[in-house]
């Protein structure tokens, strides 16, 4: 009798445990599909649902908050998707939220992503419709990529044609070899550029020194305020600076012209290609200009912020405004 | 000429067998729901079929999950999809492998057990003795066993599935460094009602088939010890075959009903 | 003893026929069992003895013929009434037929379970029956733990637990050594005297029939070939009858 009682208890235990496992499994699955618990329903309209299915997840800022409940075709270009969203998420959902359809990983099932939008908006209520945004699907992405690839292929093919032609010395480019006048002009221009840029560098160096002295010696700064001579000197420095920057400007215009000339096929390109020293020179110059202009920018910025020059710059601005008027 | 006669005889006896089995099933349904109910014996059978199979089903389930995961890992890693492991394993175990493997094991254990027990009872006239004692042996022996198998098998399959998933989770935990929580989270994310419910319904039929064929073979056992051996052996063979047929039908039907 | 026998039969079989396919086992067997009588039916193996008693207790349906037990034709009885009638019958099976999965106590309680309201004090009945066969100690053993003779005695106890009016013994001494067989026969007589039941004994054991029979029937070729006391039959000149007593 005792034995059969323990048998009954064991059997009962087994039955209860197994049933519990089944019930909890059903509950977990149901819970994921929001069969239990409070939910509310919102709608969103798409042109294309890209394979979205009933029961697919809905994510809000990346959190699973609900499932797709119903997909209805309203007309040939609009599909209404009903979603069940957990009640507790309701207070975070605003009316200006945007829904997109995406895929969960490369090969995953489709999901609806709801993203909050900037700006303030009212809280969503049951039965609301939110706006949708048809994100570029993987297909579209691939199509674009394909187009780009094709373009790149065409470009490289053209480029190859051009370079072969240059190598053979054919066409107008070949003629440029004999155009010595143009070449000397170009050389001179480069020379001017060089001097100008070194001049700019020099000025900037001087300016740096001054600024350094301002920064490091407070007493000198104090002197500056009262010393009108020093202020005059400063003014002249800045005028110089302006001059040199204007010079750089003109050089740059020159270069632009040259480049334009090259673009129009006026010549000297071949010359440039063969003259390695020249190319190096150009490189150096460009570097110098870059460095110089960067420094110049820095210095100008520093100057602007320096209380001693604030007045000057303000004056300049005033003058500009007056001129505009 | 002689050979064809032989084949036609075989077909005939096969059809007779099926016919008898159908009558047997019919008798079960007629007697199962008419008083008196042998509740105590049903409980006893449930205990013997359920609890006594737990260890077997548990061990098999665990190894099943373990091996299945280990074997499919390399392929999934090759595709860079090892994060899909829990979903894949859980769906295939719960939908198909778990129910079928556990049902086959139970066919071996429960089916042959019933076949041998009823067979020897038939041979030693215990069934006759029961009838003479005023107890309906069909009710007492057959109905309770078929019912117990029908009730217990789904539970055993749920139990086995759980253990199999646990075994799979152990592999993932040790080799893939996936925590148990993440594993089961993924499992429940992957599972649908359409995975679980047809499998449970299917396992009810599996249990019924195991009980029915085992009882049929045992109850109609021929005389002698050879008959008992034959009864238990053919119970397992026929049950296994029937299980696959049921599985085929079940997959067909669930495919129709759960198609989206 | 013979003159004490009530002539009114408790069991009557009339023109019983049963065949399996082309094998006609019983071809019109007729007999009657009188109250308080020990009737032995002898026959060779396969002569249809077992078929006959299976028809007798309703385990098998005869092709034709009447079987009347205490005034009821059992071939026409409904299941419920048949079950009630069966409580008046005790049946000792050939191989004891004890339920292997149950203890001795459960084996003995089994015939009581369907008539609980009738036998409320099952414990007392079980103990009484076990004491009758002298095995009260074995109450909580399993059949597998018992010897062949003990099993037969337990089976006998199970057959008599309901105090049946008719006890049918199917080969009560088969498979037992002569000493145990004698013990069983002794028990059968004791019980018969104690409970006043009529006994129908099926056997092919000549010693058994000599010891226990008041009257004998020889079942040959599916019919009641010869009928009489042991003495009468053993002195018969018929070759077929003589074959039994050699």
Question: Of B54, B155, B189, which has the smallest distance from its Cβ to A32's Cβ?
Answer: B189
- Nearest CA to A204 out of A196, A192, A216 is that of A196
The residue behind tokens 């000429």 is B1
The DSSP annotation for A12-81 comes to HHHHHHHHHHHHHHHHHHHHHTT-SS-EEEEEEEES--TT--TT-EEEETTEEEEEEEEEEEEETTEEEE
Phi, psi of C128 (to 5 degrees): -60, -45
Q: What pLDDT is recorded for position C2?
A: 43
The arrangement of strands across the sheet holding C64-69 comes to C23-35, C6-20, C64-69, C72-73
The arrangement of strands across the sheet holding C198-203 comes to C89-92, C166-170, C198-203, C38-42, C215-220, C223-228
Q: How far apart are CA B258 and CA B242, in angstroms?
A: 24
Domain boundaries, chain C: 2-245
> Could you tell me if A56 and A109 are in contact, meaning their C-beta atoms sit under 8 angstroms apart?
yes
Exposure of B108 by Cβ count < 10 A (0-12 exposed, 13-18 middle, 19+ buried)? middle
- Chain B CB within 8 Å of residue A14 CB: yes
Exposure of C246 by Cβ count < 10 A (0-12 exposed, 13-18 middle, 19+ buried)? exposed
What is the sign of the dihedral through the CA atoms of A164, A166, A169 and A175? positive
Q: What pLDDT is recorded for position A312?
A: 64
- Chain C CB within 8 Å of residue B92 CB: no
pLDDT tens per residue across all 325 residues of chain A: 456 678 888 888 888 998 899 888 888 888 776 666 778 888 888 888 888 888 788 888 888 888 888 888 888 888 888 888 888 887 888 888 888 888 776 666 788 888 888 777 788 888 888 888 765 555 666 777 778 778 878 877 877 777 676 666 555 555 554 555 666 766 776 677 677 667 767 766 776 676 565 554 544 454 555 555 655 666 666 677 677 667 667 766 776 676 666 555 554 555 555 555 666 666 777 777 777 777 767 766 666 666 555 666 676 777 777 777 6
| Mean pLDDT of the C77-91 span | 82
Question: Of B36, B133, B136, which has the smallest distance from its Cβ to C110's Cβ?
Answer: B133
- Best residue in B90, B160, B164, B189 for a mutation probing chain A (most A CBs within 10 Å): B189
DSSP annotation of C223 reads E
Indicate whether C148 pLDDT > 80. yes
- Nearest CA to A29 out of B190, C137, B54 is that of B190
Question: Of C59, C98, C100, which has the smallest distance from its Cβ to B128's Cβ?
Answer: C59
Domain boundaries, chain A: 36-135, 137-168, 169-324
User: In A96-175, which residue ranges form alpha helices assigned H by DSSP?
Assistant: 138-168, 171-175
- Give me the total of CB pairs closer than 8 Å, taking one residue from chain B and one from chain C: 49
Max mean pLDDT range (C100-104, C194-198, C224-228, C233-237): C100-104
- Chain B CB within 8 Å of residue A78 CB: no
Put simply, the chain B residues between 21 and 50 with a CB less than 8 A from any chain C CB are: 36
> Could you tell me if A132 and A99 are in contact, meaning their C-beta atoms sit under 8 angstroms apart?
yes
Q: If DSSP codes are grouped into helix, strand and coil, which group holds residue C169?
A: strand
- Which bin fits A275, alpha (ψ -120 to 50), beta or left (φ > 0)? beta
> Could you tell me if C175 and C150 are in contact, meaning their C-beta atoms sit under 8 angstroms apart?
no
Q: How confident is the model at residue C143 (pLDDT cuts 50, 70, 90)?
A: confident
Q: How confident is the model at residue C235 (pLDDT cuts 50, 70, 90)?
A: confident
- Nearest CA to B239 out of B49, B143, B108 is that of B108
Q: What pLDDT is recorded for position A321?
A: 77
Neighbours of A206 (CB within 10 A): 13
Bridge-based pairing of strands A129-132 and A98-103 is parallel
Q: How far apart are CA A58 and CA C5, in angstroms?
A: 94
Phi, psi of A120 (to 5 degrees): -90, 150
Contact C86 B134 (CB under 8 A): yes
DSSP annotation of C36 reads T
What is the CA A269 to chain-centroid distance, rounded?
35
B171 CA: distance to closest CA in chain A (Å):
21
Q: What pLDDT is recorded for position A1?
A: 46
Q: For Cα atoms B214, B217, B222, give the angle at the middle one, nearest 5 degrees.
A: 150
Which two three-digit tokens encode residue B33?
A: 């729901």
> Tell me: the pLDDT tens digits for C104-115?
888 888 888 777
Which two three-digit tokens encode residue A85?
A: 């969203």
Q: What pLDDT is recorded for position A230?
A: 57
> Tell me: the pLDDT tens digits for B70-82?
999 998 888 888 7
Instruction: Provide, rounded to the nearest whole percent, the portion of chain C with pLDDT above 90.
Output: 0
The enclosing H or E element of B68 equals: helix B54-78
- Chain C CB within 8 Å of residue B128 CB: yes
Q: What pLDDT is recorded for position B85?
A: 87
Q: How far apart are CA C150 and CA A283, in angstroms?
A: 118
| Closest Cα in chain C to B132 | C86
Q: How far apart are CA B104 and CA B213, in angstroms?
A: 13
Q: What pLDDT is recorded for position C1?
A: 41
Higher-confidence residue: A200 or C90? C90
Q: How far apart are CA A21 and CA A25, in angstroms?
A: 6
Spell out which residues of chain B touch residue A53, defining contact as CB-CB under 8 Å. 260
Q: Which CATH number fits domain C2-245: 1.10.1200.10, 1.50.10.10, 3.40.50.300, 3.30.465.10?
A: 3.40.50.300
Q: How far apart are CA A68 and CA A64, in angstroms?
A: 11
Indicate whether C220 pLDDT > 70. yes
Contact A10 B47 (CB under 8 A): yes
| Mean pLDDT of the C16-43 span | 84
B56 CA: distance to closest CA in chain C (Å):
22
- Chain C CB within 8 Å of residue B18 CB: no
What residues of chain B score a pLDDT lower than 70? 1-5, 259-260
């Amino acid at each position: 009798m005792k034995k059969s009682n323990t048998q009954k208890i064991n059997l009962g235990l087994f039955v209860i445990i197994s049933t519990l496992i089944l019930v909890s499994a059903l509950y977990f699955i149901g819970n994921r599909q929001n069969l239990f618990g409070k939910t509310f329903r919102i709608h969103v309209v798409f042109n294309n649902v890209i394979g979205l299915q009933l029961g697919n997840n809905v994510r809000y800022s990346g959190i699973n908050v609900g499932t797709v409940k119903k997909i209805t075709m309203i007309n040939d270009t609009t599909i209404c998707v009903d979603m069940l969203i957990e009640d507790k998420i309701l207070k975070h959902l605003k009316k200006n939220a945007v829904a997109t359809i995406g895929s969960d990983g490369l090969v995953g099932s489709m999901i609806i992503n709801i993203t909050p939008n900037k700006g303030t908006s009212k809280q969503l209520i049951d039965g609301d419709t939110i706006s949708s945004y048809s994100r570029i699907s993987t297909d579209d992405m691939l199509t674009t990529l394909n187009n780009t690839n094709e373009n790149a292929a065409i470009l490289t093919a053209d480029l190859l044609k051009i370079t072969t032609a240059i190598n053979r010395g054919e066409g107008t480019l070949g003629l440029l070899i004999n155009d010595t006048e143009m070449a000397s002009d170009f050389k001179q221009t480069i020379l001017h550029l060089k001097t100008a840029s070194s001049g700019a560098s020099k000025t900037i160096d001087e300016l740096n020194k001054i600024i350094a002295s301002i920064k490091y010696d407070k007493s000198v700064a104090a002197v500056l305020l009262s010393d009108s001579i020093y202020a005059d000197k400063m003014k002249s420095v800045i005028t110089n600076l302006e001059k040199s920057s204007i010079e750089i400007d003109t050089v740059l215009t020159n270069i632009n012209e040259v480049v334009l000339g090259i673009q129009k096929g006026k010549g000297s390109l071949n010359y440039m290609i063969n003259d390695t020293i020249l190319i190096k020179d150009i490189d150096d110059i460009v570097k110098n200009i870059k460095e110089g202009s960067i420094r110049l920018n820095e210095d100008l910025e520093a100057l602007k912020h320096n209380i001693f020059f604030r007045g000057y710059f303000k004056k300049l601005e005033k003058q500009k405004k007056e001129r505009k008027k | 000429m002689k050979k064809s006669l032989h084949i036609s005889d075989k077909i005939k006896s096969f059809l007779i067998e099926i016919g008898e089995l159908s009558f047997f099933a019919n008798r079960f349904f007629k007697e199962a729901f008419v008083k008196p109910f042998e509740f105590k014996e049903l409980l006893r059978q449930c205990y013997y079929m359920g609890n006594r199979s737990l260890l077997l089903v548990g061990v098999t389930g665990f190894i099943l999950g373990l091996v299945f995961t280990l074997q499919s890992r390399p392929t999934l890693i090759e595709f860079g999809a090892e994060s899909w492991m829990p979903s894949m394993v859980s769906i295939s175990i719960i939908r198909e492998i778990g129910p079928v493997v556990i049902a086959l094991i139970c066919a071996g254990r429960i089916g042959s057990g019933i076949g041998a027990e009823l067979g020897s009872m038939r041979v030693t006239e215990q069934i006759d003795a029961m009838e003479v004692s005023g107890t309906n042996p069909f009710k007492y022996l057959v109905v309770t066993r078929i019912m117990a198998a029908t009730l217990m098998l789904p539970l055993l399959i749920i139990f086995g599935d759980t253990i199999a998933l646990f075994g799979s989770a152990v592999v993932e935990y040790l080799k893939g460094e996936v925590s148990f929580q993440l594993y089961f989270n993924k499992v429940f994310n992957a599972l649908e009602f359409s995975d679980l419910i047809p499998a449970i319904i299917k396992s009810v039929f599996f249990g019924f088939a195991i009980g029915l064929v085992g009882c049929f073979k045992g109850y109609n056992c021929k005389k002698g010890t050879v008959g008992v051996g034959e009864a238990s052996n053919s119970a397992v063979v026929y049950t296994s075959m029937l299980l696959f047929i049921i599985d085929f039908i079940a997959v067909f039907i669930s495919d129709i009903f759960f198609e989206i | 003893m013979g003159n004490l026998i009530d002539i009114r039969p408790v069991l009557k079989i009339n023109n019983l026929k049963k065949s399996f396919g082309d094998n006609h086992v019983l071809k019109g067997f007729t007999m009657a069992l009188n109250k308080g009588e020990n009737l032995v039916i002898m026959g060779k193996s396969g002569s249809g003895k077992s078929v006959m008693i299976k028809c007798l207790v309703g385990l098998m349906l005869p092709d034709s013929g009447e079987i009347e037990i205490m005034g009821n034709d059992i071939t026409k009885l409904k299941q419920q009434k048949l079950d009630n009638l069966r409580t008046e019958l005790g049946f000792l099976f050939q191989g004891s037929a004890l339920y292997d999965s149950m203890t001795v106590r459960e084996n003995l309680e089994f015939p009581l379970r369907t008539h609980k309201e009738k036998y409320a004090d099952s414990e007392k009945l079980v103990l009484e029956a076990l004491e009758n066969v002298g095995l009260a100690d074995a109450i909580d053993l399993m059949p597998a733990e018992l010897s062949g003779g003990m099993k037969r005695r337990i089976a006998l106890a199970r057959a008599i637990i309901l105090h049946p009016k008719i006890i049918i013994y199917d080969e009560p001494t088969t498979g037992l050594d002569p000493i145990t067989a004698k013990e069983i026969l002794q028990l059968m007589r004791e019980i018969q005297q104690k409970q006043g039941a009529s006994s129908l004994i099926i056997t092919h054991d000549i010693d058994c029939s000599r010891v226990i029979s008041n009257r004998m029937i020889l079942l040959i070729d599916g019919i009641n070939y010869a009928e009489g006391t042991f003495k009468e039959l053993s002195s018969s000149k018929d070759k077929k009858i003589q074959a039994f007593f050699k």
